[in-house]
Structure 1
Amino acid sequence: MIKIDLITGFLGSGKTTFIRKYAKYLEKKGERVCVIENDHGSVNVDLMLLDDIRSKNIDVEMIACACNTDKSSHLRRYRSKLITNAMLGYNRVIVEPSGIYDIDEFFDCLYEDPLDDWYEVGNAITIVDSTLEDNLSKESNYILASQVSCAGTLLFSRVQELEGDKDKSIENVKSHIKRALKDIHCNKKIDNIIVTKPWDDLTDDDLEKIRNSGYERSSYVKESVIRNNEYKTFFYVDLNISKDELINRINKIFADDSVGNVIRIKGFIPTENNKWIEVNATKKQLKVVESNVGQKIILVIGEYMNMEHINEYFPEAVAIENKHK
């Protein structure tokens, strides 16, 4: 049977970065891998961020629906993609959903005919930012805990960026996760599944353990947070500004309380030499690099955001709203 892995993590936690390393390791072990970017948005920037890992044995595909398409249509496309992939000779499928995701969708789909004859769950890997803010909203804590509830590995990202007492910082994040689990009445034990080694230091032995870490579905009290949330993505299309100007505007957005809780900003702007500037930003980190692929779009992702105020930072662009369903 084809093993299918779920890589979860809250917005900006580092899922895409880990998948780059993980997929290449699987290829080295002789596996044929398909990465599925499973997002409810109409544009998936992460698909482009993974473009350079494509090879003879690694493919990257996207499932997305238009902003006004309902959830059932998205699930039908997801199911159809898995059926197609089952016929293409992959050993492993890696699913990267959006950072706001109901994990039951992943498992429920695999229990249906004919997918249950072709696929088996390999691993559920949850990425947690080691610089996680302690004052997350109730909704964000629910999403974090629900993702952790099924994890076989809890992989901390950005450990190398911690300042001061790193052990204390990591313990604080562990305590935060445990409180979030308690809030949803989940008795998941996490101490033995946590990996806190900086990712550049992960050995083949470490990756092999992750590759075989499995999953564990722990029960919890399900709430309507995801269905009725205020998480949104604003798309800013056809933006033509300089790199310095983009950085300046992003910094101002994160400093502006009137825009709401902006969690992540990512996307591309074109350069004069027919290349692209890729930006990937959270409140604590701003990454800007040159890329050979891109699309003229910037995504602003968050909760309880004020679109009118954010639009003022991108007056040159066409603004489109997508509410996560």
Structure 2
Amino acid sequence: MKIPVYLISGFLGSGKTTVLLNMIEKCKKKGLKTGIILNELGTKNVEETYFKKQNVKTLLNGCICCSIQDDLNETLRSFSEEDIDLLLIEGTGVANPIDIETALTTPEFTHIYELNSMITVVDGSHFLEHQHFFTSSKEIRKLLKQQISCASMVILNKEDLITESSIKKINNKLSGMLKEGVSVFRTAFGNIPETDLFKKRYHLHTSMTNQDHSAVGHRHNHSSLRSIQIEGVAEVDRLLFEKWIAELPMEVLRGKGIVRFKGEPMNYHFQFASGKLRLLQTVEEKTPIIILIGDSLNEEKLNQNFHSRMSE
């Protein structure tokens, strides 16, 4: 019997990991043994604490569709030898799902895996902004189109942050990108009914003929989107850190990591997306780290700015 696969994609900060965690929880309640492939642009996975006691294999320091394609194939071979009931794959925010689809539908893997759904998560609070010529780059617009046009299911996330009139505009934009018959599900926190989320929506004979083949082999079309690391992070003042986050340049699309605040006994995981900062206290004693992802980021300048602000 083939192993069903669900591929989760979406732009930076759209809520992919939230959807993935919801799916894992639903699988756990059913007693299903789940394999998970995570892909990170940076050299460290700062979100691994979210996946404790899970069968996770992480592909670091690259995008699945580019520099670590061989690692993906090797990981698929590894999971094929394990006793799992299904496989969940989360690409980076700059991954083109078509490249992952291509790997899964090669002769080597089609007798092992069955791709059930290509789920694309859309950040409703920033989608229109990312579509605008004056507030995003050509690369971002092209990447978003790639992620949406190959989807067999779209999750329009963060609807709590947008108005109904904006949702109508988003749906109009989406309708011009989606394949015929693809459903769009609205949610605030990526929580979709189980029957909808795990439904088989992918059909090889229609998907591979209908997709935009000009997107395949895009290898370098997100060359300006990169991950950087803030070096030498020690204890910081909480108010100064929150102020620094709020004043990050618009080129910074995503931030995550671990910070320690002065006078507090425990570390915090932080997530920065859609212009909002979330902090979650953790008992884990890990070295503080700050990772920023965005468009044409100047690593040296951002490092200098961080340390100058934290020393005020």
Q: How does the TM-score come out when normalised to structure 2?
A: 0.83
Alignment of 1:269-284 (within 5 A): 269-271=259-261, 275-284=266-275
Q: 1:145 to 1:200 in 2, by over 3 A?
A: closer
Candidates 242, 245, 249, aligned match of 1:250: 245
Q: 1:195 to 1:5 in 2, by over 3 A?
A: same
Aligned AA (1:227): H
Candidates 257, 265, 271, aligned match of 2:255: 265
Q: How far apart in 2 are the matches of 1:107 and 1:151?
A: 11
Q: How far apart in 1 are the matches of 2:283 and 2:57?
A: 18
Q: How far apart in 2 are the matches of 1:282 and 1:196?
A: 18
Q: Does 1:126 align with 2:120?
A: yes
Aligned-residue offset at 1:282: 2.7
Aligned-residue offset at 1:78: 1.5
* 1:147 alignment partner in structure 2: 147
Q: 1:262 to 1:281 in 2, by over 3 A?
A: same
Query: Percent identity, aligned pairs only?
Result: 21
Aligned AA (2:111): D
* 2:90 alignment partner in structure 1: 96
Q: How far apart in 1 are the matches of 2:292 and 2:231?
A: 11
SS in 2 for 1:36: strand
Q: 1:197 to 1:251 in 2, by over 3 A?
A: closer
Unaligned runs of 5+ in 2: none
SS in 2 for 1:143: helix
Aligned AA (1:198): A
Conserved? CA contact 1:152–1:213, under 8 Å: no
* 1:257 alignment partner in structure 2: none
Conserved? CA contact 2:156–2:184, under 8 Å: yes
Aligned AA (2:108): P
Q: How far apart in 1 are the matches of 2:304 and 2:140?
A: 26
Q: How far apart in 2 are the matches of 1:230 and 1:220?
A: 22
Q: Does 1:188 align with 2:179?
A: yes
Once the two structures are superposed, residues 258-316 of structure 1 have per-residue CA deviations (whole angstroms, 9 ceiling, x without a partner) of xx611111111135666321111135321122123454211111112233331222238
Q: Does 1:313 align with 2:305?
A: yes
* 1:160 alignment partner in structure 2: 160
Aligned AA (1:63): L
Q: How far apart in 2 are the matches of 1:29 and 1:9?
A: 26
Conserved? CA contact 1:144–1:177, under 8 Å: no
Conserved? CA contact 1:267–1:295, under 8 Å: no
Q: How does the TM-score come out when normalised to structure 1?
A: 0.80
* 1:22 alignment partner in structure 2: 23
SS in 2 for 1:4: strand
Conserved? CA contact 1:265–1:299, under 8 Å: yes
Q: How far apart in 1 are the matches of 2:149 and 2:274?
A: 26
Aligned-residue offset at 1:176: 3.1
SS in 1 for 2:307: coil
Give the number of equivalent residue pairs. 292
Conserved? CA contact 1:239–1:314, under 8 Å: no
Q: How far apart in 2 are the matches of 1:231 and 1:200?
A: 24
Aligned-residue offset at 1:171: 1.3
Unaligned runs of 5+ in 1: 182-186, 255-259, 317-325
Once the two structures are superposed, residues 148-176 of structure 1 have per-residue CA deviations (whole angstroms, 9 ceiling, x without a partner) of 122221111111233xxx32121122233
Q: 1:40 to 1:161 in 2, by over 3 A?
A: closer
Aligned AA (2:137): S
Aligned AA (1:62): T
Deviates more, 1:232-241 or 1:121-130: 232-241
Aligned-residue offset at 1:91: 1.0
Aligned-residue offset at 1:231: 0.7
Aligned AA (1:160): D
Conserved? CA contact 1:233–1:302, under 8 Å: yes
Aligned AA (2:296): Y
Conserved? CA contact 2:155–2:190, under 8 Å: no
Once the two structures are superposed, residues 43-78 of structure 1 have per-residue CA deviations (whole angstroms, 9 ceiling, x without a partner) of 222333x23xx34xx4222112479xx945x12221
* 2:278 alignment partner in structure 1: 287
After superposition, the CA RMSD in angstroms is 2.8
Candidates 208, 222, 234, aligned match of 2:228: 234
Conserved? CA contact 2:15–2:190, under 8 Å: no
Q: How far apart in 2 are the matches of 1:122 and 1:167?
A: 31
SS in 1 for 2:214: coil
Q: 1:161 to 1:269 in 2, by over 3 A?
A: same
Q: 1:19 to 1:99 in 2, by over 3 A?
A: same
